[in-house]
Structure 1
Amino acid sequence: MRLTVGLVSLGLLAACDTGTEQRDAVASTRTVQRPYWPVPPGAIARGTAAQQAALAPPGPQVTPQLVATGEERFRAFCTPCHGVGGRGDGAVVSRGFPPPPSYHDERLRALSPEQIVQVITHGKGRMFPYADRVLPEERWAIAHYVKRLQGQETGSPQGQETEGP
């Protein structure tokens, strides 16, 4: 019995092709290596037009649902640095990170929702871009929620408009 198993195993091993005769033509990682083809000038990635259209001013119509979505996304992405009230007193500040400016500073109160969307998209100062983490519609929602926060601070109606584009 052992002899039979041993002969069958030896026969199977002899039939295996290790591919060593072609090893010189294949990279050690066994990947297919293709030449580099540069992207043609003027080429645009798929989906770019739709993304740019979603980011174009004036953005979606401001509704209570949009502001509620903005609050939810703000709490998820912005409060670690900016704090719940937008004063720059988030959790990372208590751990030694330099505080971001308060949304209630006059300089930031003067920003339009379009400018806030651009900052969320491209980042500014120590803030890195959130374009790969936050959808364009959610960026608009966050921007309108920030304007609502700023309006609540002074009691002014700023950020409470419900008119659309």
Structure 2
Amino acid sequence: MRRALLIVLVALPLAACDDMNHQPRYDSYEKSMLFADGKALQAPPAGTVARDDPERDAALANRPAVSGRILLRGQERFGIYCAPCHDAAGYGNGTVPARGFPHPPSFHIDRLRSAPSRYFVDIITNGHGAMYSYADRVSPADRWAIAAYIRALQLSQDAPAAILPAEDRARLEDAGS
């Protein structure tokens, strides 16, 4: 009985290994009946982006002019990708840190106020600290739009009264007294 059991235990793994060595597969340029065009190598789906795509790199290098449309797009993308951690006003008190994750820095500290817009684009592209890269989620144009919106947030929280129209400045002074 022991001998029969030992033979079965030795033979069973050997039989399984043979199936692993002979799996059906296609070489890249081989014909295939699996696809309608008869080719094994298929074109990537629409929207697929290579990591070294020169067009994407060029779009990242060229900063678009800031416009109302760009700021609205930046606000939308900021709300989707950034606000969960940075909060809607950019102070770093979003819902994610409220649940125990590290707080990101406020966009309103002096270091980030004086940082160039390219800094924010680079952080979105490559990540920093606990923040991972958003390069595969946010297009280069949208990264620039988010950076422009961050600048608008910074200005909204620390705008000098001197840049306000006279009537708004008067209202501000009346409210302060």
CA distance in 1, matches of 2:132, 2:108: 21
Residues 82 and 31 of structure 1, relative CA distance in 2, 3 Å threshold: same
Runs of at least 5 residues in structure 2 that lack an aligned partner in the other structure: 1-17, 29-49, 162-177
Shift of 1:156: 4.2
Which runs of at least 4 in structure 1 moved beyond 6 Å after TM superposition? Answer: none
SS of alignment partner, residue 93 of structure 2: coil
CA distance in 1, matches of 2:51, 2:98: 42
| Residue from 66, 73, 86 that aligns with 2:70 | 66
SS of alignment partner, residue 57 of structure 2: helix
Normalising by the residue count of structure 2, what TM-score does the alignment of the two structures yield? Answer: 0.63
Deviations 1:7-28 (A, max 9, x none): xxxxxxxxxxxxxxxxx79834
2:25 is equivalent to residue 31 of structure 1: yes
Count of matched residue positions in the alignment of Structure 1 and Structure 2:
123
CA distance in 2, matches of 1:46, 1:97: 29
**Hey, what does 1:135 align to over in structure 2?**
139
Runs of at least 5 residues in structure 1 that lack an aligned partner in the other structure: 1-23, 35-44, 158-165
CA distance in 2, matches of 1:103, 1:46: 29
Pairing 1:100-139 to 2, within 5 Å after superposition: 100-139=104-143
Instruction: State percent identity of aligned pairs.
Output: 42
Amino acid at match of 1:74: F
2:43 is equivalent to residue 49 of structure 1: no
Pairing 1:68-107 to 2, within 5 Å after superposition: 68-107=72-111
Residues 61 and 99 of structure 1, relative CA distance in 2, 3 Å threshold: same
| Residue from 123, 130, 146 that aligns with 2:150 | 146
SS of alignment partner, residue 21 of structure 2: coil
Structure with more relative contact order (C-alpha pairs < 8 Å, separation 6 or more)? 1
**Hey, what does 1:7 align to over in structure 2?**
none
Normalising by the residue count of structure 1, what TM-score does the alignment of the two structures yield? Answer: 0.68
